[in-house]
Amino acid sequence: MARFSLRYALPDAVGQGKLLPHLLLLYVCTVVFQIAFHTYDSLWRYAESREYLSLLMAAFWGFCVYEIISRAVIRSVMSFVLLTAIASVWVLGMLLMRFTYRVYRNQVMHRRGSHRLPVAIIGAGAAGVQLLGELQSNADSRYQVQCFFDDDRSKVGKRIHGVEVKGTIRDIPTRLRAMDIRQIIVAIPSISEERRHEILKELSGLDRVKVKVSVLPSTMDLIEQKPIGAQLRDIQIEDLLGREPVRLDSKPVDGYLEGKVVMVTGGGGSIGSELCRQIAKHRPKQLVIVDIYENNAYDIQQELLYIYKNKLDLAVEIASIRDGERVRQLFAHYRPDVVFHAAAHKHVPLMEQSPQEAVRNNVFGTLNLVRAADEYGVGKFIQISTDKAVNPTSVMGATKRLCEMILQSMRGRSKTTFAAVRFGNVLGSNGSVVPLFKRQIAAGGPVTITDKRIIRYFMTIPEAAQLVLQAGAMAKQNELYVLDMGQPVKILDLAENLIRLSGYVPYRDIQIVETGLRPGEKLYEELLVASRDIEKTENDQIFVERQPGITPEELRDKLAVLAAALDQNNPGIIRETLHQVVPTFHEPEDVNPERGEEVKAPEVAVEKAVGVACGSAAQ
């Protein structure tokens, strides 16, 4: 019977000792198509359906070409039954080898994974599944994925690569208490900032569970060529603001920066350096960075040279804006078309101790720049101001209010368009509270806040820079611009959420200590002074406040009184004089609520300004 079967399986040409050439031809044809389909280039530990389909297609075409050659050239063929049997064994052998390798590797990874950090992934969509695959296949991964959570109820109870979808996001608090989860990864890059904030708020309520939270960046920030697992980041304070990032139209900015000489004072600082980065994108004729601190100026210089090389004409000048002659020298040499003035002393408590330095640098330094801008025909001069200039309670705030007055006094007297831009606290800037909180958490605490009632408006450094550039495009008649920064944030809530999302429990793992208000510190900040002359601009997020002007004579008298006080070099006299020349300057105790009283957001806020502006328009 065996002979009978073999005789039918092997035709005479093949059966007469010519089976080996047929097998060699079949092997060569298959290998050629394996190479053509790049199956040998695949990393089979990461293989998915596409790789296995390529393997099958290569085998299919290899056998087809063999059949053609064997009939046309050798003029003898194997029977269809034998060819099919060889093909099946061949394909199954290749698949078995690769499956065996993957099973072996997964077993090794599983044994190694016993020492990994148990994590849960929020989001069983494409990004979450891709992240799971990378973490499972990476031998050096620190994470062992235990489960998914997803709001799609049709996925609950299902398994993805062996990992179960335990429940919805609302189920996390109850589910985690029964599991040994040490970290949660939010892997939904396409969600809105509001929804991300809601999820993080839900996670920050896990008071009795020590879980650290990491997130994937938004879809816009994901880098396509970079593994998704390598783009995980810790919680940033922007994630807790609960609003979409401010994104402004760049076209109007191109109109007044492209092909122009642009100067940035304080260009090495946190705001100034970001201004330089964004200005460089608008193809200026020349970018001039002016700063007194050479290290910061050098850092931003090297960064921009690395990115733009010889495509950006970049100049860096080390100079103090206090030196009027040096300022005039720079303006005469570079003849800037646009100036962004970010150089200033900004640290509130330090300026309380050294008011003379705040006055010399902030007030008279700005005066030097304004005079030079007028003398050398600068097109636009944009001053970086602060919400602390509104009804100031600090020397720093009072000096910045005086800077706004200096710009206002130039209205109608100069061909230069002067404008000021006010915004609140900038996240991540030098002296910001957030980097301090992170350092304190990393050190094991305590986290220190001056008063648990403090509320602040926040924005990111890129948002602040965008606002300044946009205001420069809008500026026409010495306006004062303000950004709608949403709802103010309570600093205590900020500290507690940051502690929880860093994997600790507030007041148990890390204490929050109240140290008392610092000199000049106010419990709340305002964005607008009490004025009814508030208007909306073409951008819904930017408002302009038109304040009563100040005459050059009034300003000259104020500055003369202040200069005389400065000559005495007495901090007390300088502070009294600031009260005299800035009528809205008050002591903190005059405006801060008494101890134990609740602090509410000031009534004069941007949201109310919309109503005021609309009401004025209706009249």
Which residues have a Cβ under 8 Å from the Cβ of 238 and sit 6 or more positions away?
245, 427, 460
158 catalytic? Reply is no
Task: For residues 466 and 218, give the distance between their C-alpha atoms in angstroms, rounded to a whole number.
Answer: 19
| Residue 277 CA: distances (Å) to CA of 271, 284, 299, 542 | 10, 11, 12, 22
Q: Which helix (H) or strand (E) holds 377?
A: none
Q: Encode burial over 427-443: b for 16+ CB neighbours within 10 A, e otherwise.
A: bbbeebbbeebbebbee
Helices (H) and strands (E) in the chain, counts: 23, 22
What are the percentages of helix, strand and coil residues in the chain, rounded to 5?
50, 15, 35
Between strands 143-149 and 489-490, the pairing is: unpaired
| Residue 555 CA: distances (Å) to CA of 90, 183, 260, 365, 581 | 92, 58, 31, 15, 9
Task: For residues 604 and 533, give the distance between their C-alpha atoms in angstroms, rounded to a whole number.
Answer: 12
Using CB atoms within 10 Å of the CB of residue 234, give its burial: 0 to 12 exposed, 13 to 18 middle, 19+ buried. Answer: middle
Task: For residues 346 and 350, give the distance between their C-alpha atoms in angstroms, rounded to a whole number.
Answer: 9
In terms of Cα–Cα distance, which of 98, 232, 146, 559 is closest to 371? 559
**Residue 426: strand, helix, or coil:** strand
- Residue whose structure tokens are 């209205």: 411
Single-letter amino acid, residue 547: Q
In terms of Cα–Cα distance, which of 318, 403, 414, 325 is closest to 366? 403
- Give 348's DSSP letter: H
- Residue whose structure tokens are 């005079």: 371
Report the chain's C-alpha Rg in angstroms.
34
Beta bridge partners of 536: 543
**Residue 496: strand, helix, or coil:** helix
User: 425 with 238: CB under 8 angstroms?
Assistant: no
Catalytic residue among 166, 212, 346, 388: 388
In terms of Cα–Cα distance, which of 455, 456, 479, 476 is closest to 543? 479
Q: Which two tokens stand for residue 307?
A: 């990115």
Beta strands in 470-560 (DSSP E): 480-483, 489-490, 512-514, 534-536, 542-545
User: 22 with 78: CB under 8 angstroms?
Assistant: yes
Task: For residues 310 and 304, give the distance between their C-alpha atoms in angstroms, rounded to a whole number.
Answer: 10
Catalytic residues: 388
